[in-house]
Amino acid sequence: MRGLAGMRVLVTGGATGIGRAAALRFAAEGASVAVNFVGDPEPAEELVEELAEVGPGGEHLLAPADISDEDAVDSLFAGVVQALGGLDVLVGNAGIKVVHQPHEVLMADYDRVMAVNLRGAFLCAQAAVQHFLDTGRPGRIVMTSSIEAHFPVEEVAIAYIMSKSGMTGMIKALALRYARHDIRVNAVGPGATRTPMNVDFERDPSIEAAVVGMIPAGRIAEADEIASVIAFLASDEASYIHGQTILVDGGMGVGRSG
């Protein structure tokens, strides 16, 4: 896509699922990619090796950090900027989901979901915007939201739904303020997607069948289909798109919009 070659990209939650697919797509387009992760380094290490094969012209690196921690985010961005010589694109993909009946949600679980999905996304967006303003260069922020922010499906994932709904407001506010600086802030809203977060699809075919029954396209999305839209939103092809969440849901939201 136009404008991605030579870009310096940070993907949070980049080791698996949609983040992994996005990292591979950017590398294939000629970008340099920093893969953020927390916990087990092996998937991220394997991904960075794969990025070197897919995108040999770029520089690809590991960027471990807990994005819910303000000091860790500051260190993360400082390290990535130093290693890559700057930053052009933030893909805010890190996220977690905890499933409970709404009246049984533990506050510890609620706080952790909000800390990663909303606080962490905002901390990273703040750091990215500050870098873009300091350098006077255009910037691109693409967050991974969810169809759940617009058409809730899993009432047992209420904290996740609330966090992604908050993200919708966040990207609109950021876009409203920083569009004048050529900083584009958008999100992709995946529908049901085959990722490690959605392991129930693999465990129980009846769950997948029930979900597919709600999707006009008649199937679950693959992570690279979401990554294609992330790459588009970061590219010059999307130069006039600000503050939007693009649903990539196989028509699932259309059937629920009334």
Bridge partners for 221 per DSSP: 193
Burial 207-223 (b: 16+ CB within 10 A, else e): ebeebeebbeeeebbeb
The catalytic residue among 110, 160, 178, 240 is 160
Residue holding tokens 């809203």? 189
User: What is the spatial distance between Cα 16 and Cα 18, in angstroms, rounded to a whole number?
Assistant: 7
Does position 200 have pLDDT exceeding 70, yes or no? no
Length of the chain: 258
Q: What share of the chain is helix, strand, coil (3-state, %, to 5)?
A: 50, 15, 30
Please report which residue ranges of 136-197 form alpha helices under DSSP H: 158-178
User: What is the spatial distance between Cα 233 and Cα 108, in angstroms, rounded to a whole number?
Assistant: 34
Closest C-alpha among 20, 8, 66 to residue 46: 20
240 given a catalytic annotation: no
Closest C-alpha among 154, 73, 57 to residue 115: 73
> Residue 129 carries which DSSP code?
H
Domain ranges of the chain: 8-250
Does position 88 have pLDDT exceeding 90, yes or no? yes
Domain 8-250, CATH homologous superfamily name and number: NAD(P)-binding Rossmann-like Domain (3.40.50.720)
What percent of the chain is predicted at pLDDT more than 90?
Answer: 85
Answering whether pTM is above 0.85, one says yes
What percent of the chain is predicted at pLDDT more than 70?
Answer: 97
Does position 121 have pLDDT exceeding 70, yes or no? yes
Residues 6+ apart with CB under 8 A from 210: none
Instruction: Provide the edge-to-edge strand list for the sheet that holds 245-248.
Output: 60-64, 32-37, 8-12, 89-92, 139-144, 183-190, 245-248
Reported as a single tens digit per residue, the pLDDT across 23-71 is: 999 999 999 999 999 999 999 999 999 999 999 999 999 999 999 999 9
pLDDT at 201: 60
Does position 218 have pLDDT exceeding 60, yes or no? yes
Write the single-letter amino acid at 108. Answer: A
Average pLDDT score, the chain = 95
105 pLDDT band, cuts 50/70/90, is very high
Task: Provide mean pLDDT across the span 228-234.
Answer: 99
